[in-house]
Amino acid sequence: MAAHSPSVVNSNDEPGYDLDLFCKTNHYAEDLQKVFVPHGLIMDRTERLARDVMKEMGGHHLVALCVLKGGYKFFADLNRNSDKSIPMTVDFIRLKSYCNDQSTGEIKVIGGDDLSTLTEKNVLIVEDITDTGKTMQTLLSLVKKHKPKMVKAASLLVKRTPRSVRYRPDFVGFEIPDKFVVGYALDYNEYFRDLNHVCVITETRKAKYKA
Ligand code: HPA
Ligand code: MG
């Protein structure tokens, strides 16, 4: 395992792609500035991540634990690409730490099964984005209490932010600048999850979707 998990790195001055270059959800046309990570690139990167996960964790019953709601697309695509030669079960947990685009600093567990099913399993936590990293740190310590054989985390995106607690997941799709992104299941107050691409929202249009 590399000390620093490799990822595609989007630079701070990454311009993104014009929305007109892709098919998009028309009702969001005015609300988005740029396509930041196109869906096809997410697919290609996820295919490789699934292979890396299987190489490191595939020797034993794997439980893929999805952090809802933002993780659902990444979770499904990661699973679709996984090796089918070992038993894998899935579980779902729901946490909430955001209101508008600010972390409230407090993490609430809203749903989830009995975590004792994770004991002695190889557990892969799957989430959409690691921002401050506090959510994942909290969830990791929660899972570890149930004595899994191994626990690792996969995050589609990692944000470069000064607010970070310097936690980095074991598997990272893309490292992005400190911008608020939506799409591919990431939301702004529950909107934009239905977008295929990861996009940057237009600042002036945020008010329309304020909680
Ligand atoms: N977008 C959506 N949800 C998030 C983000 C983001 O940039 N950061 C943390 N949760
Ligand atoms: Mg969210």
- The tokens describing 54, both together, are 């299987």
CATH code: domain of residue 153: 3.40.50.2020
Per-residue H/E/C for the chain: CCCCCCCEECCCCCCCECHHHCCCCHHHHHHEEEEEECHHHHHHHHHHHHHHHHHHHCCCCEEEEEEECCCHHHHHHHHHCCCCCCCEEEEEEEEEEEECCEEEEEEEEEEECCHHHHCCCEEEEEEEEECCCHHHHHHHHHHHCCCCCEEEEEEEEEECCCCCCCCCCCEEEEEECCCCEEECCECECCECCCCCCEEEECHHHHHHHCC
Q: Is 72 inside any structural domain?
A: yes
Whether residue 138 is contained in a domain is answered as: yes
When divided into structural domains, the chain yields a total of 1
- For the question of whether the overall pTM of this predicted structure is more than 0.95, the answer is no
Give the pLDDT confidence of 74-108 residue by residue, as tens digits: 999 999 888 777 788 999 998 866 666 666 556 66
Q: What is the pLDDT of residue 98?
A: 60
Residue 174 has pLDDT above 80, yes or no: yes
Lookup result for tokens 């107050």: 189
Q: If you take atom 1 of ligand 1, which residue's CA is the nearest one?
A: 181
Give the C-alpha separation, 103 to 83, whole Å: 35
Query: Which are the catalytic amino acids?
Result: 131
* Pocket of ligand 1 contains residue 180 by CB under 6 Å: yes
**Does residue 159 lie in a domain region?**
yes
Residues 28 and 39: their CA atoms lie apart, in Å, by 16
CA 169 / ligand 2 centre spacing (Å): 18
Q: Which two tokens stand for residue 69?
A: 């709601």
Range of the domain at 170: 13-209
User: Is 4 part of a structural domain of the chain?
Assistant: no
Q: How does pLDDT run across 176-206, given as a tens digit for each residue?
A: 999 999 999 999 999 999 999 999 998 888 8
Q: Which percentage of the chain shows pLDDT scores above 90?
A: 60
Mutate to test the pocket of ligand 1, among 36, 68, 95, 101 (most ligand atoms within 8 A of CB): 101
Length of the chain: 211
Residue among 38, 32, 82 nearest 57 (CA): 82
Whether residue 7 lies inside any domain: the answer is no
Query: Is any ligand 1 atom within 6 A of the Cβ of residue 127?
Result: no
pLDDT higher than threshold 70 for residue 32:
yes
C-alpha atoms less than 13 angstroms from C-alpha of 91 in its C-beta half-sphere: 19
- The residue among 181, 142, 139, 141 whose CA lies nearest residue 159 is 181
Q: Residues 112-124: what's their mean pLDDT? A: 88
